[in-house]
Structure 1
């Protein structure tokens, strides 16, 4: 099948099949990711010595942060696979690794059973989970982006990104249902393990759907070029030599998203309980409401981005988050009524940032190194700002006795998003303009070779 026919058919059933395949694995991986944050308070009592509650929670989030250190490594490993052997193969492997690490958490013995080996094994499982997640986003986004006609790329990627938040929300809902139908003793003894073991069927579903779709037209064309020229692919070397300016811009522009994504995914429930004074069930319900706001904002931002462009969308999102970060967290800490308003505002901020931050992983890098460069830059940012987000949040709120420290921190990073989008204007506008050139669905295909931007190492 030629690239032209592939994209001409990106309508109706084929479009749904491609987005479903990418989204199913994405849903599975991020369901796993969300569960850890939802049960963080309980994990603190299961895997660490009994004592001060804040210390136990900090230990749990320290494990969370250590897991993020494996994400850049996962980005390199699976990015190389995605750029050398195909996006589809990388996606199938990432879902197995991430869900395998998550399922293993559901089988771990506790601190009371094996002592210090319990947190050590928890760290290893978290690092496996993080490695898989490190390659997931860049692979899946590139897959959908390269299958999509230019005029719908942001909207199609927005549907994929929204599946992430559906997965995270499902984790919250299942935690709520499980804790409601089981006695407290049963839930703390083994009920929480069920949430992690659900990863097994989700992984199988993700792999099945992803193996039933074809590779992207852009990568197939790249593979044909490599076979004709007999040039060995070296995506990591090309990335480090040629893409570091774009990677630096991406790091600055997405730091705020890295923080806010973990704030909602893995800290918001704890924040609402410990700082806002909400009961556990109220906090779970508020987290679900926040994720609904994230999903709605993400889908709406996809439409906006297709109309006004990536850089402008990122600038708008950064301005909104800078203005709302402190007020939204202050509201979230003010009881049930204010908490519900606050979590909706926080969720909206996350959705506004999510689409442009993640779409940039594919837009600003060429097809030859798209997964490697996007995954490496994104995961370094996530490790630096996302992995430390919950533990910094606990520390700031415990030190200040309120939500303002974390809110100010998020505001500063949102301002850096605006500054980075302006300073990196040439990178964003040039790449987005190239991506918007008539593609196979609308005219002749445009490749890196035709635009004179072919990498030194294909």
Structure 2
């Protein structure tokens, strides 16, 4: 949809020959559109991670239902192994859906990923177990988890791209962190749902049909989330680049937006993103997907308490994520991510020792201790990593980097941690895996370029009001976060090089008049 865009000459010069940023160069995203965008993106992401999270909270039951002849350890490793299988398909989903998102639009692909995830989760809920169809039960379970993985491969990369491109530069850390608030609240909703069922249903019914209810609920919940997501439009940055991208693809179908071109042009950024995502998600999946199994099978809690103990920690951590995101807008993404990696190294062993103490209070303190680095990590991923890539390759670059990292490290984290416990007979073993990945993350963060309060690469500044646009232009010579020459250069290298590229833009609600500044 055209948002009342007027073309202007970007190359306005002063007498000294230096370019000047003008009010007409600044994108203003008005509050009604921003609120609608945040709601649609966060609600959809919550739904996606509810689907992923529910599996972790019934993993012990699924092991019994789909591998009934195995030992308890074999059943746990099977269910966690199936969880890890999901992540095999994520790089493929990230590559395919990421490239489509850079070509067809972020909103279309995000709606598709949500529908695919909800459908696959519902089918898991009605899938016959081993007692009914034998060996086909685990095979079909793996197939459905692969479909989930393909879908999720395009979800987070697209959602982070979408919300970071819409967010005003000064508040991108806070607004993008709301996405991970939705993610971990989705985990919390899944934990609460499963816990309520376990407390109200008998163990026999829970094993036979009760565990299916959260999966079947995904379909109606997905329809609701899809409604919110289809009400949002594509980002101003994508619309501004769309015409130029079409011209480039006509001449070179596998240009910067293509998979090979993205790897060739952004291999350094991809490597940095992989290391940071690996560190963040190893700690994150240890807290969310692995903890129910660890508390139940290793520390001896019953299944109800194994889930309930993680619930308050997830809720508290989720509510803290936007606060840390806002902190990054003030002190910088790099500073906050450095704090996260250091705390991941320092706090991992104390966290697991507290849980191993055996008392409920110490387990809660241990879980909260592990949640501290997770909150500092995930609150910045959605704002820091998309800023590594220009508009025309952002969805694709994020899709490649994020999903390779989660496939190799995060998705396998519960399986590796349970395997370490099984092999070493040491409940403390998972802490060392968290520490090792955080060390790698710390090294990568040292090379990360600061992006807080700055425009996204390939786009001109984005603000939240007309007044802020005028203020930005008036202070451009003294603003330490605004390098006008670099901004214009990056914009021209990406989508703004075309004289037909839209620049004078106010993004307003569909129900309101739209015009230029």
Moved more, 88-97 or 182-191: 182-191
Whether 1:386 and 2:410 are equivalent positions in the alignment is yes
The answer to whether the 8 A contact 1:31-1:171 is kept is yes
The equivalent of 1:130 in structure 2 is 149
The equivalent of 2:30 in structure 1 is 10
The answer to whether the 8 A contact 1:97-1:128 is kept is yes
**1:306-317 residue pairs with structure 2 within 5 A?**
306-317=329-340
Whether 1:410 and 2:434 are equivalent positions in the alignment is yes
Task: Name the one with the larger helix percent.
Answer: 1
Moved more, 374-383 or 436-445: 436-445
CA distance in 1: counterparts of 2:174 and 2:104, whole angstroms: 27
The equivalent of 1:26 in structure 2 is 45
The equivalent of 1:186 in structure 2 is 205
Given candidates 276, 298, 301, the residue that maps to 2:321 is 298
The answer to whether the 8 A contact 1:104-1:125 is kept is yes
**1:325-344 residue pairs with structure 2 within 5 A?**
325-335=348-358, 336-344=360-368
CA distance in 2: counterparts of 1:204 and 1:77, whole angstroms: 24
**1:239-250 residue pairs with structure 2 within 5 A?**
239-250=262-273
- Helix, strand or coil: the match of 1:50? coil
Given candidates 275, 285, 288, the residue that maps to 1:262 is 285
Corresponding residue pairs, total: 454
CA distance in 2: counterparts of 1:293 and 1:55, whole angstroms: 33
The answer to whether the 8 A contact 1:361-1:370 is kept is no
The answer to whether the 8 A contact 1:277-1:333 is kept is no
TM-score by length of 1: 0.93
Task: Go from structure 1 to structure 2 and tell me whether the alpha carbon gap of 1:175 and 1:419 turns closer, same or farther (over 3 Å shift).
Answer: same
CA distance in 2: counterparts of 1:349 and 1:440, whole angstroms: 30
The equivalent of 1:72 in structure 2 is 91
* Structure 2 residue runs without a partner (length 5+): 6-23, 474-483, 499-517
Moved more, 39-48 or 356-365: 356-365
1:314 to partner: Cα distance: 1.0
The equivalent of 2:9 in structure 1 is none
The equivalent of 1:153 in structure 2 is 172
CA distance in 2: counterparts of 1:6 and 1:63, whole angstroms: 48
- Helix, strand or coil: the match of 1:8? strand
The answer to whether the 8 A contact 1:310-1:432 is kept is no
**1:220-231 residue pairs with structure 2 within 5 A?**
220-227=239-246
| 1:175-229, Cα deviation, whole Å (9 max, x unpaired) | 0111112122111111111110111012111221111111110001011333566
CA distance in 1: counterparts of 2:497 and 2:151, whole angstroms: 26
The equivalent of 2:73 in structure 1 is 54
- Helix, strand or coil: the match of 2:390? coil
The equivalent of 1:237 in structure 2 is 260
| 1:434-454, Cα deviation, whole Å (9 max, x unpaired) | 539743543579977654532
CA distance in 2: counterparts of 1:7 and 1:279, whole angstroms: 54
CA distance in 2: counterparts of 1:107 and 1:145, whole angstroms: 37
**For the aligned residues, what is the CA RMSD?**
2.4
The answer to whether the 8 A contact 1:30-1:164 is kept is yes
The answer to whether the 8 A contact 1:258-1:382 is kept is yes
Moved more, 333-342 or 276-285: 276-285
Task: Go from structure 1 to structure 2 and tell me whether the alpha carbon gap of 1:432 and 1:383 turns closer, same or farther (over 3 Å shift).
Answer: farther
Task: Go from structure 1 to structure 2 and tell me whether the alpha carbon gap of 1:312 and 1:152 turns closer, same or farther (over 3 Å shift).
Answer: same
Whether 1:119 and 2:138 are equivalent positions in the alignment is yes
TM-score by length of 2: 0.83
Whether 1:289 and 2:315 are equivalent positions in the alignment is no
Task: Go from structure 1 to structure 2 and tell me whether the alpha carbon gap of 1:449 and 1:368 turns closer, same or farther (over 3 Å shift).
Answer: farther
CA distance in 1: counterparts of 2:496 and 2:170, whole angstroms: 29
Whether 1:453 and 2:493 are equivalent positions in the alignment is yes
Task: Go from structure 1 to structure 2 and tell me whether the alpha carbon gap of 1:118 and 1:357 turns closer, same or farther (over 3 Å shift).
Answer: same
1:343 to partner: Cα distance: 0.9
* Structure 1 residue runs without a partner (length 5+): none
